[in-house]
Structure 1
């Protein structure tokens, strides 16, 4: 198999020195042995609604638990998988995920890799969310029978280190790895997922700048609104809200 590898940013554009092995840029690997059914290409990326709200002493994470799948070419709720967790915490950081929630395995071992299972198995093995995303990318590259070519899995993560709040945005598939960091200096809500929900909360971000109970109620209110207005609502199920704070 012939691989072509490019890195789009120079060394001096890398992030903080302790993370210098993970440049905030895009990496690309092209393989002539990878094929993909493009019928549903990219369409699963606009699912879910998740986010993090940064306060001085804590970070609140929130996300829906609805899974979606294609049946006979139509998008429907994935009732077989049930509730899909999309917000995860460790003692070191909090992270949420949106976009695709599984990758298909082809060849002799057909099936699916469910992202929530992979995260639960690996999140305790790292100290920083950047390491977790890099670990996932390495896993996708290693698995030749895994179709993870174009559909993106997105992450929003946060932690507090030496009094500094750090926001991490990342995306990954078999071809690309992108990690971007920024310091948060004021209360901030960072969220992503379905465009309808993103635009809705863009108009009134204060709904996500409240306490845990109000954030949950405001997202549930949006879900009920779009249950009535959309042909298929890709957000739903239980709304999970988790609070992370640095250990003393």
Structure 2
């Protein structure tokens, strides 16, 4: 019975058979069907299934995936006893991430704030007061912002998005559309929470260089004291010169 239920053996048998079946059908098309007037300029569809061995259903889509994409065992991240399947190679090392907009309170006789990270380009740091007015009277040194005028101690300011260099333990995954099926750059961020301690252990970011709004969006209205959300869908667009549509970063929290 083990001979017929072993997953690897089932997939290994099915893979060459599927490949041979597609090859023969393609040969039949080029030799015969392509010259048939009823077939010319029409799609040629091949339906392939492997039912030649007991327990064929165990293979799922793995054999056909080997044939079409030369892709077999998925990559994954070990997280405790769980495995997060990713489908791409994980590289570990410093990367570039985006700081999400954040509010800070200025402190000191000469008002300062300390950013959550050191900006890569200090000229790209944009700061606004509570009324939405942009503040330009400040200097940046490392992660410290010093206000020369216009801001007093205790005042809250909002620092908009800037890029920063992540630590050497950051895990990056390229999201390649050759493996996974002109707009804005979309950056998504969330937290990875340890299930037992409920502590944040890492920030997760997804970067998509080109994304176009789908054209559909919804606006949810609520009273002033209730949460209200606005959502819309983005369609990720493949660059003309690359198959990489984005990347994912796992940034451990020290």
Structure whose residues are more often helix by fraction: 1
TM-score greater than 0.5 by the shorter chain:
no
Q: Which has the larger radius of gyration?
A: 2
Give TM-score scaled by structure 2 length. 0.22
Greater relative contact order (Cα < 8 A, sep 6+): 1
What TM-score do you get using the length of structure 1 for normalisation?
Answer: 0.23
